[in-house]
Amino acid sequence: MTLPAAEGTKRPQTPVRVPGVASTAIYGLVSAAGTQATVLGTSAHAVWLLVDDRVLVISTSDSTRLPNGVQIAAGSSSDLFRMVHHGATIDIGHGRIMLEGVAVTINRWWDPRPTLTATTEADLATAINGLPTDVPDIDPAPLRAALMANSAGGILHSARLLLGKGSGLTPEGDDYLAGALAGTRLLGEALRRDRTAALIAGVSVPLAKLADARTTSFSASLIHAALRGQVAEPAGALLRAFTGRGDIASSHESLLHVGHSSGPALAAGMVMAAHALIESASGA
C-alpha cells in the first residue's frame, strides 16, 4: 500500500526522459562514470555546464548543433529547461546527463569535424567568389597576413587582438578567429597543404591558453574545438560546400542566421582563411 504524502510535503518528481544526439568530441566526457558538472546558465534553448575547465552545452532541437554539445529531441517550446537552476550540480556518466527534472540519454552521435573533398586553389577561389570576409568592428588584416606568411607568431599576436572583442557568450572576435582557424586547418588539408597542418598544430597549445585567459569559458571551448577542426553543424556544411559537397549559397545563408553575430563572423573567418590559403605560397 502506498501511504499518502505528509501534508506540506511534495512527492519527488520523476524526471522527463528525452533522447539526445551528442558530438563525438565529448564522447569520453559523457561516457565515463561519476562525472559532475555545474550549471553555468540556462535559457529556453540551452543549458551550459562547466565540467572541470570545459563547457558542455545541452540544447533543444531548434538550436544549432554545437561541437561541444548534446542536442535533445525536444524544441524550446517544451520548456524542459525551466527546472534547471544556475549553480546546480548535476551528474554525467554512462551516456546520461541528469539535469534537474530532465534525464538526457545519448542514443546517437555526430562528428563535428567535417570531411572535405580534395580541391584545388582554382576551384576553391571559384567557390568563395563574392562571399564577404569582413564583419563590423573586426580588422582581418593582421590575421590574414599571418596566415599567408605561415607565421605562428603572427597568428598568436592576431589572436590577442581578437579574443574577447565584442559582447556576448561568444564575442565576435572569437567567432571570427574560430572560423579562420577551423577553415585554415580543414581547407589546408583539402588542398594537401602539409605546412598548414603543422602551423595549426604548432599554435594549438599557446592559443588555447590565450583563449582560456582572455575570453568566456564557453567561447574558449569553441576555440579549442576549432583548433581541432571541429565546428558547429552549419559551419561544417559550408566548408563541405566549399569543396563541392553541397550548395554554397544556401549553406552560407544558413550559417548567417546562427546567433546574433556568431554566424556571420564564423562565415567571414572561414572565407578569409580560404583567401589566405589561395594567395599564400604553395605548401610542401
Tell whether 27 and 82 lie within a shared domain: yes
Tell whether 34 and 76 lie within a shared domain: yes
pLDDT of residue 6: 45
Tell whether 43 and 141 lie within a shared domain: no
At 190-241, the pLDDT tens digits run: 999 999 999 999 999 999 999 999 999 999 999 999 999 999 999 999 999 9
- Range of the structural domain that residue 24 is part of: 16-110
At 38-53, the pLDDT tens digits run: 999 999 999 999 998 8
Per-residue b or e along 78-98, where b marks 16 or more CB atoms closer than 10 Å to that residue's CB: bebbeebeeeeebebeebebe
Could you tell me if residue 186 is inside a domain?
Answer: yes
Quote the pTM value.
Answer: 0.92
Instruction: Give the sign of the dihedral formed by CA 95, CA 230, CA 233, CA 99.
Output: positive
pLDDT of residue 162: 97
pLDDT of residue 14: 83
Tell whether 128 and 172 lie within a shared domain: yes
Give me the residue label for grid cell 553543424. 233
Q: Which residues of the chain carry a pLDDT beneath 50? A: 1-12, 282-284
